[in-house]
Amino acid sequence: MRNLPKPFTGAALAAALLTACSAQPSPAPAAPTPTYQLTPRPVRPGERPVTAAPVTDGDTRFQVIGLQTGLSEFVGSHGEWRAKGQYVVVRIVADNPGRTNSRFVAGRQRLLTADGAAHAVDRFAQAIKRQPDTIPLGAEVRIEMDLWFDIPRDAKVTGVRLYGDPPLGVGGTTQGATVPLA
């Protein structure tokens, strides 16, 4: 018996393989992932809602949901306190979408103003308003909290830079993710 030429054999094999691949039915589209139906809540007095897309930095996902500016003082559970300039309150949701623990540190967050300055949270205001300084975020944990800043009275807020925890095992710091607020 005669052998077929090698180019013909290769072409026949390729045609058979392509035919076999195209005979497969296409996969069914993935079913949509269900979502939680959370009850809407009213915006707090003096706060304006912020509609901003979530941002991610390191192992933390953030969403800004509220903003208050121009507060001259506030009342805590045991007294009232005046701002050196004006208090600005940024309401955030922070969550850890990962499978390991991460850490949220309020002191790393920065409020950005039109003059190019980046202002740290006011630790005293955070403490009086009983907002956490550092909090562990377990796997799939989500928290909602306020960040209190005391900035110059005439400063105009332009955004907030939010810092998450570096991915597990990487160490160091993250670059931060900026959310415009102007």
pLDDT of 141: 94
Q: How would residue 12 be classed by pLDDT, with cut points 50, 70 and 90?
A: low
pTM: 0.80
Domains and CATH numbers, the chain: 48-169 (2.60.40.1240)
Reported as a single tens digit per residue, the pLDDT across 100-118 is: 888 999 999 999 999 999 9
Contact present, 124 and 79 (Cβ < 8 Å): no
Reported as a single tens digit per residue, the pLDDT across 107-162 is: 999 999 999 999 999 999 999 999 999 999 999 999 999 999 999 999 999 999 99
Closest CA to 62 of 91, 100, 101: 91
Q: How would residue 173 be classed by pLDDT, with cut points 50, 70 and 90?
A: confident
pLDDT averaged over the chain? 87
Secondary-structure breakdown of the chain: helix, strand, coil percentages, each rounded to the nearest 5: 15, 40, 45
Distances (CA, A) of 50 to 17, 28, 44, 61, 180: 55, 38, 12, 16, 10
